[in-house]
Structures are given as C-alpha cells and as structure tokens.
Amino acid sequence: MTTPLQAVVEAVQTSRKYQAIDPGLVAAVAGVELGKGRSHKEAVKATKNQLHQSAAVYQSGRMAYDRWLDEFHDAWPDESARRPLLRQVMSAHSSTNERLPILDDFYTRIFALLPPIHSVLDIACGLNPLALPWMPLAPDASYLAVDIFMDQVAFLNGFFQLADVAGRAETRNVLTDCPTVPVDLALILKTIPCLEQMEKDAGRRLLDEVQARHLVISFPSRSLGGRQKGMASTYSARFAELTSGWDAKVTRLDFSNELVFVVERG
C-alpha cells in the first residue's frame, strides 16, 4: 500500500522539473510538509515550492544535457572553441551565468591566495565544474562535485571524461550526506543561503562536516533580479557568525556580484 509520504513524492516526481532530483531529498522535504499536518494536495504544492526555491529556480528551463555533451565532443579538438562553448552552457544555470562577467578574474584572484591544490570538493556545484579550465589546479588534481540533480551529475561525469579530468560527480543531498573525504580545497559557492532556506542551521553543520584545509565560501551580493539590498553586509555578518571561534586566516574578495571568503584553517 502506498503511504501518504510515497504518494506525495510520486506526485512531485511526475513533474518534469523535479523528476531528476535526488528522491531522498524529495522525501525529506515532503516528510516535513506532511509533518505540519498538510493535506496531500497542500504537501505536494509546498514540496514543489521548496524544491523550486532551493534548486530548480537556478536552472533556465530545459537543460539540454545530451545536446551539450554532443557539442562538447564536436568542439573539443579545437582548443579555441572550448571556452566560448563552456561559457555558453554555464549561462544555463543562473549561479554560473552571474559569474561569467567576472570569470576571467575570479579563479585567478582566488588561486593566487592558495598553495598548489591537488584535490577539490565542489559542494552543491551546479554547473561550476565547467569552469575547470579557468582554475589553475595542480596537473594531477582530482575533483569531486556534488549536487541533487541526477541528470546534471551524469552530464558532469560525461564532461570530466571528455576533458580528461580526474573528476567525479555524485548525486548527494548535502544536508544529510555531505562528503567527508579530506581535500585540499572545498568550494562552497553561493550555497549556504540556499541550504539555510531549507534548514536554518545547515551552513554550520556543513562547515563542521567538510574536511578541507582551504575553503572558498561565497555569497551572492546581488539578488537574482540584480538588486543589491544590503546583501553583502548581511552575508558577511552570517559568515562571521558561522566561522566565529575558528583558528583560520580569512581573506575577503569583493567581486561585482559575489562576496568571497578564502579561508585557510589552522
């Protein structure tokens, strides 16, 4: 017999927009909504709403993963064609799209503050792994990327293979299943506010779990609509709260639409 929880999960998954989301996360969100005493219909609506706000909102409609992989295969032999194509595909996710105007500077300034990096964990990665050619990593570097969309993860694995990168993408809900493998660098880009929409203390738990000597933690400093609304000061206060008491060296970098903290833990 189908339980009320399974019924809500199945109803949410009939919608193409949410079909590829990690079923464990869908069930966790649905469970919380049913726990509030909502009806089936209300719980389906509230679950979709939460998954939209924290994940689907960043994607620009249909993500053409198969076509993009074909285009990568065609373009890859011509080195000069790679970066323009990667930029084009990164524009399909609003987080990487917002970074495109600053991308040429972004990783150059960040990596100038870091020692050689041999392993990276990219948490709630979106399409950021496509920016690998902009990251001056050590030649033998490994890259682990996690997010909640199964189709996006398969696409990123296809990209890693094509680009001959020692990379792996995994479908993971980092609220309950954050990788704890030790790495040189953890990228936690524009992710903490998104996770804290779902669980108030998610940022603190995530930072407790991640095993990295260096962390790059960023926050949007303009809203998706382009307004500023004091975001940089709100998020720098949140960062200070989350890292208070840390034995760490912190460097702040202010980009035009992203506030970045480069952290070296003691």
Ligand X SMILES: C[S@@+](CC[C@H](N)C(=O)[O-])C[C@H]1O[C@@H](n2cnc3c(N)ncnc32)[C@H](O)[C@@H]1O
For ligand X, the binding residues (CB under 6 A) are: 25, 54-55, 58, 95-96, 124-126, 128, 147-149, 172-175, 189-191, 194-195
DSSP state of 106: H
Q: Which residue do the tokens 């994940």 mark? A: 55
Q: How far is the CB of 37 from ligand X (least distance, A)?
A: 24
Q: Which residues contact 225 (CB under 8 A, 6 or more apart)?
A: none
Which CB, 45 or 52, lies closer to ligand X? 52
Which CB, 11 or 55, lies closer to ligand X? 55
Q: How far is the CB of 248 from ligand X (least distance, A)?
A: 21
Give the residue from 198, 200, 196 showing the smallest Cα distance to 219: 196
Which CB, 151 or 264, lies closer to ligand X? 151
Q: Would the CA dihedral through 18, 204, 154, 28 be positive or negative?
A: negative
- Residue 162's CB is within 10 A of a number of other CB atoms, namely 13
Query: Radius of gyration of the chain from Cα atoms?
Result: 19
Q: How far is the CB of 266 from ligand X (least distance, A)?
A: 25
Q: How far is the CB of 144 from ligand X (least distance, A)?
A: 13
Which CB, 40 or 198, lies closer to ligand X? 198
Give, in order, the Cα–Cα distances in Å from 3 to each of 15, 70, 160.
19, 41, 39
